[in-house]
Amino acid sequence: MSGARGRGRTNFVIRKIFHSIANRAAALFMKLLFGYSSRIYVTGSEHVNRAGGFLLASNHISHFDPFIISSAVRRKIDWMAMAEFFPLPIVGLFLRAVDAFPAARDRADRKTIRSAIDRLKDGRIVGVFPEGGIRDGASSLLQGAPLRAGASTLAHMAGVPIVPCVILGTDRLYAKRNWLPLRRTPIWIGFGRAISHFPELEKSVARARTEQELTKAFQGIYAELRQKFQLTTDDLPHPPRERMHAPSKNRRQLLRRTTATAVDLAMCASMNLLQSRHRLNGRSAAEMERYVAECEKLTPHEYYAVRQDVDLVAAIRNGSGASVTWRSPIQTKFSRNNAARADFFWCAARKNAPTVFMLHALMSATHIGYRRWAARINQLGWNACFVHLPYHYSRVPRGYWNGELAITADLIRNAEGLRQGVMEVRQLIATLREQGCREFGILGTSYGGWIGALLAMVERDLRFVALMCPIVNVEHAIWQNPGTAFMRRELRRAKIAPELVARHFHLSSPMHNEPSCDPARVLFVSGDFDLITRPADIDAIQQKWRGSDLLRVPQGHFGYRMMRDTIGRLKERGL
Q: Is 95 in contact with 85 (CB distance < 8 Å)?
A: yes
Q: Where in the chain is the domain with CATH 3.40.50?
A: 259-364+381-399+443-533+550-572
Handedness of CA 222, 499, 548, 574 (dihedral sign): negative
For the chain, the average pLDDT equals: 88
Assigned CATH topology for domain 2-245 = Glycerol-3-phosphate (1)-acyltransferase (3.40.1130)
Quote the pTM value: 0.65
Q: Is pLDDT of 397 > 60?
A: yes
- HEC string of 311-344 equals HHHHHHHHCCCCEEEEECCCCCCCHHHHEEEEEE
* Residue 89 CA: distances (Å) to CA of 64, 86, 93, 175: 19, 8, 6, 26
Assigned CATH topology for domain 259-364+381-399+443-533+550-572 = Rossmann fold (3.40.50)
What whole-number distance in Å separates Cα of residue 207 and Cα of residue 364? 53
pLDDT of residue 249: 54
Q: Which parts of 163-308 fold into alpha helices (H)?
A: 203-228, 240-244, 247-275, 284-295, 300-303
**Arithmetic mean of pLDDT, 284-300:** 96
- The helix (run of H) or strand (run of E) holding residue 43 is strand 38-43
Q: Where in the chain is the domain with CATH 3.40.1130?
A: 2-245
Q: pLDDT, tens digit, for every residue of 444-503?
A: 999 999 999 999 999 999 999 999 999 999 999 999 999 999 999 999 999 999 999 999
At a CB cut-off of 8 Å and minimum separation 6, what does 235 contact? 168, 169, 186, 188, 229
Amino acid letter, residue 194: A
At a CB cut-off of 8 Å and minimum separation 6, what does 324 contact? 312, 315, 316, 341, 342, 344
User: Which of the residue ranges 68-72, 212-216, 220-224, 256-260 would you say has the lowest mean pLDDT?
Assistant: 256-260
Positions of E strands within 64-141: 77-82, 101-103, 125-128
Q: pLDDT, tens digit, for every residue of 297-342?
A: 999 999 999 887 777 877 777 655 688 999 999 999 999 999 999 9
Pairing outcome for strands 339-345 and 77-82: unpaired
